[in-house]
Amino acid sequence: MDSIHIQGGVALRGKVRIQGSKNAALPILAATLLTKETSHLQNCPRIADVYCMIRLLRSLGVCVRWEENGVRVNAKSLQTDELVLGNMPTEAVRSMRSSLCLLGALLGRVGAVTMEYPGGCVIGERPIDIHIAALKQMGVVFAEADGMLTASAQTLHGADITLPFPSVGATENVILTAVMAEGTTILRGAAREPEVVALCEYLEQCGARIEGAGGQTIQIEGTGQLYGTHYQIPPDRIVAGTYLFGAVGAGGSVLLERAPIQQMEAVLELAKQMGAQCDLTTEGLYVQMETRPQAVPLLCTAPYPGFPTDLQSPALTVLTCAEGDSVIEENIFENRFRVVEPLRSLGAQIELLDRHRVAVHGVERLHGTVMEAKELRGGAALLLAGLVADGESIITGCSYIYRGYENICKDLRELGARITSV
Ligand code: UD1
């Protein structure tokens, strides 16, 4: 099922339930290593990245069992032999940047880990310098040999750490390490993303003492022992945003059940500027779009609560068929503009101004074609372009999309889209 076929130009109408959050589930799955007791994670999304994390956990001897409404994890029999930790399935570590959370979790549980560079990238190309500098302050010593990274600590101790940039992953790694360290850690310049808050909520339910999650300064008291818990993974704000932009681009009226609107302020603000009517109902977010989208003068991505980089490509798709000209500035990841080329093949007029900015001259119609997905959110953006464009579009490389969307074709079919995975 690597390609998706879409007959575009159909307005979306209906309702769909928003899945559990990928970016909350992944670090929380890593955090389950910190206790010997069972955690039950409800609403854990069944997506490729979660399966990949579970494979890594199982390779470490962790017992993971899927149940109807979630996943049950017990890390009592975690293998604590350092050599074994170094034997995590290489391609799983390489293919997923968030395997980096295992660094903090394993340091917290056993004080040492040897692993591949996550995401298959070397420092510099996809840096982990912020993680390393922060963890060093807590007593972690790093060594590098043959593409493997070894981290170990005689004693983990609290520290007063200031991050130079609010990296989500580095914030999560410091928290995962600090809950098991001796003493207090103060983390300044922390990421404020809702997924950091979810990780802290889970850890607090397990007995951790954390204050200030969601703000720039987080205080963590180290604790000797954590316990199992039941935790409900929150709904995925990026999936909700993707479907929202689908409705804004294709038109129609949709109800996004359980959409976490309190985490979507910047996204809703943009949708309104584009001409959508967004209303909060008791069931979720109701979006109505009956006109052609309006251009926006400047859309900038920024750390939370700013506009999320993960929704930049879906927003770009909408702006390609908006009335007027827009500029998008990408401030988090430089390689997000790989969708420009395939979008142009649909008739979009996009100009690369520099590595961080594109100018979009809205066109009245896009025309279906064959496009290749090369990454998760960019792939979802191409799929939205297929919904908006006239005629048939075929998206190949869809395994990237399935890394983050549980059932995107079924969800969009429920909204009336003519879409099938082949
Ligand atoms: C997380 C999300 C990802 C989202 C991103 C930004 C997960 C699994 N992934 O990724 O979906 O797009 O936050 O909201 O939660 N950086 C460094 N050095 C470091 C760490 C990061 O230079 O040590 C840079 C990165 O290259 C990037 C920026 O900081 O340019 C943001 O990275 P970060 O916030 O760490 O993103 P991730 O945690 O990888």
Q: Is residue 172 domain-shared with residue 243, that is, in the same domain?
A: no
The pLDDT, as a whole number, for residue 1 is 67
Name the closest-CA residue to atom 4, ligand 1.
310
Q: Is residue 176 domain-shared with residue 194, that is, in the same domain?
A: yes
The pLDDT, as a whole number, for residue 144 is 85
Give the neighbor-by-neighbor strand order of the sheet with 298-300.
298-300, 325-329, 357-361, 349-352
- Looking at 232, 253, 268, the residue that finishes a domain is 232
Name the closest-CA residue to atom 9, ligand 1.
23
Higher-confidence residue of 422 and 416: namely 416
Question: Is residue 174 lining ligand 1, measured as CB closer than 6 Å?
Answer: no
Q: Is residue 93 domain-shared with residue 199, that is, in the same domain?
A: yes
- pLDDT tens per residue across span 149-175: 889 999 999 999 999 999 999 999 999
The values of phi and psi at residue 394, to 5°, are -125, 125
Higher-confidence residue of 367 and 150: namely 367
The pLDDT, as a whole number, for residue 148 is 83
- Looking at 200, 232, 264, the residue that finishes a domain is 232
pLDDT above 60 (res 406) = yes
Q: Which of 44, 63, 121, 278 is an active site residue?
A: 121
The pLDDT, as a whole number, for residue 93 is 74
> What is the secondary structure of 58-87 as a DSSP string?
HHTT-EEEEETTEEEEE-TT----HHHHTT
- Is residue 12 within 8 A of residue 247, CB to CB? The reply is yes
Q: Helices 168-178 and 101-110 meet at what angle, rounded to 10?
A: 10
Q: Is residue 28 domain-shared with residue 152, that is, in the same domain?
A: yes
Higher-confidence residue of 29 and 118: namely 29
Residue 38: which domain range?
22-232
CA-to-CA distance for 386 and 392, rounded, in angstroms? Answer: 7
3-state secondary structure of 245: helix
How does the average pLDDT of the chain come out, rounded? 93
Mean pLDDT of 176-192: 98
Higher-confidence residue of 250 and 95: namely 250
When pLDDT is cut at 50, 70 and 90, the band that residue 232 belongs to is very high
Q: Which residue is listed with tokens 């997924």?
A: 195
Q: Is residue 260 domain-shared with residue 334, that is, in the same domain?
A: yes
The CATH number assigned to the domain holding 211 equals 3.65.10.10
- Looking at 232, 248, 270, the residue that finishes a domain is 232
Q: Is residue 56 domain-shared with residue 84, that is, in the same domain?
A: yes
Q: How many domains does the chain have?
A: 2
pLDDT above 70 (res 49) = yes
Structure tokens at 326: 């827009």
- pLDDT tens per residue across span 221-231: 999 799 999 99
pLDDT above 90 (res 79) = no
Q: Which helix (H) or strand (E) holds 301?
A: none
Q: Which of 168, 193, 236 to mutate to test the pocket of ligand 1 (most atoms within 8 A of CB)?
A: 168
Q: Is residue 199 domain-shared with residue 298, that is, in the same domain?
A: no
Pairing of strands 63-67, 349-352: unpaired
Q: Is residue 195 domain-shared with residue 249, that is, in the same domain?
A: no
Give exposure, 49-82, as e/b (b: 16+ Cβ within 10 Å).
bbebbbebbebbebebeeeeebbbbbbeebeeee
Name the closest-CA residue to atom 13, ligand 1.
168
- pLDDT tens per residue across span 117-145: 765 333 235 689 999 999 999 999 999 88
Q: Is residue 310 domain-shared with residue 391, that is, in the same domain?
A: yes
Q: Which of 101, 197, 332 to mutate to test the pocket of ligand 1 (most atoms within 8 A of CB)?
A: 332
Q: Is residue 251 domain-shared with residue 279, that is, in the same domain?
A: yes
Q: Is residue 248 domain-shared with residue 226, that is, in the same domain?
A: no
Q: Is residue 314 domain-shared with residue 278, that is, in the same domain?
A: yes
